Amino acid sequence: MPLRILTAGESHGPALTAIIEGLPAGLHLDREAMDHQLARRQRGYGRGGRMQIESDRTEITSGLRFGVTLGSPLTLTIANRDRENWRERMAVWEGSDDDPVRVPRPGHADLAGALKYGHRDLRSVLERASARETATRVAVGAVLRQLLAEFGIWIGGHVIRTGMAATGDSFRTLPADNRKQYETLIRDLCGRAAESDVGCGDPETAEMMKKEIDNAMAAGDSLGGVFETAALGVPAGLGSNGMWDRRLDAAIGAAMMSIPGIKAVEIGLGTEAASLPGSRVHDPILSAAPPFPGRGSNNAGGIEGGISNGQPLIVRAAMKPIPTLTGPLPSVNIETGEKTGAHRERSDVCAVPAAEVVGEAMLAIALADALIERTGGDSLDRMKRGLDI
């Protein structure tokens, strides 16, 4: 059965919910590992007041017995603690809102959603469009990371840019001719980034990033940035060159682009490959001896022809600045046509470290789907036999 994931819930509704269909039976889940990923998403210098309110925990209400998956749909629920302050304005049945949102924010789904669904109160758009929804994706990713770990697949990442502050540390620049050393360097870089509240493993650049965030906050502005995500231990043969929608890079690209605020995704060298000759882009095949394949570089980022080639997967994503500004941009009231400053909603100044965590989750989702398709996913034992593990 192919993997299928649904999420539901509004930012200030009772709870967020996710359903995972197609998860194999026999997978032991670690509750603390799941909550750890949710806590990582809430971290970060420049986060807003909402993160001081929520303390996300995952409750599983179906598909699990004695901590082991049953093969039936797994349902995850994350309660919204801030719901207590929004019971009247976000009531499921009777309720009212004496302060409807009429002024859309440039860069947010407010206006486009109102045009699509015909809402006159923009809160009916922004509640679902809020990045709060990504908590469910991180919870789903936390489950699927545990599935991937059964096959020796590890995922990590780091932030390489916040505003104009950027580090020279990158997965792209690490020497890739020695597989063991290459993977060790990737893990080390991710480990250093995990200790940083801006998600950057270079202390000097991390301080520059904090200054960028402080300056944006003082100016009533917001910042975006760039992060990298890597997956190690990915077996060759995931994805397909047989049909466009089964290509692994297409699935990863779609997963990453679905994260709120992401405007560009690159795999391997990405756009840099367009300016270089083929002799400097394509990765030489040096050896058929273990660990096969021996390559002189990893400019392809672990994918060739839409199929994983056994090298580490390297993905980079660029996030635009948060649309809510304390110094709002010009907008108009959709009811009166009056020109005014855009609506202000409680928000972050910068959420790139959190987006990186969501990026890891989305990479886990794309890889788990490809792995289940490759091996058959009714049970964990059958999956392992299908991959000869």
Instruction: Report the sign of the C-alpha dihedral through residues 156, 320, 247, 139, in that order.
Output: positive
Alpha carbons 214 and 318: distance in angstroms, whole number: 20
Residue 24, both tokens: 């194999």
pLDDT tens-digit map of 96-134: 888 899 999 999 999 999 999 999 999 999 999 999 999
What values do phi and psi take at 295, rounded to 5? -125, 150
Alpha carbons 157 and 354: distance in angstroms, whole number: 11
pLDDT, mean over the chain: 92
Q: What is the pLDDT of residue 82?
A: 78
Which residues neighbour 113 within 8 Å (Cβ) at sequence distance 6 or greater?
Answer: 119, 122, 125, 126, 129
Q: Which domains does the chain have, with CATH numbers?
A: 4-386 (3.60.150.10)
Instruction: Tell me the pLDDT band of 288, cut-offs 50, 70 and 90.
Output: confident
Are 157 and 227 a contacting pair, CB within 8 Å?
Answer: yes
Complete DSSP assignment for 106-127? TTSSHHHHHHHH--SSTHHHHH
pLDDT tens-digit map of 184-229: 999 999 999 999 999 999 999 999 999 999 999 999 999 999 999 9
Instruction: Tell me the pLDDT band of 285, cut-offs 50, 70 and 90.
Output: very high
pLDDT tens-digit map of 39-96: 999 888 876 655 555 578 999 999 999 999 999 999 999 998 877 778 788 888 888 8
Q: What is the pLDDT of residue 48?
A: 62
Instruction: Tell me the pLDDT band of 282, cut-offs 50, 70 and 90.
Output: very high
Instruction: Report the sign of the C-alpha dihedral through residues 355, 356, 358, 359, in that order.
Output: positive
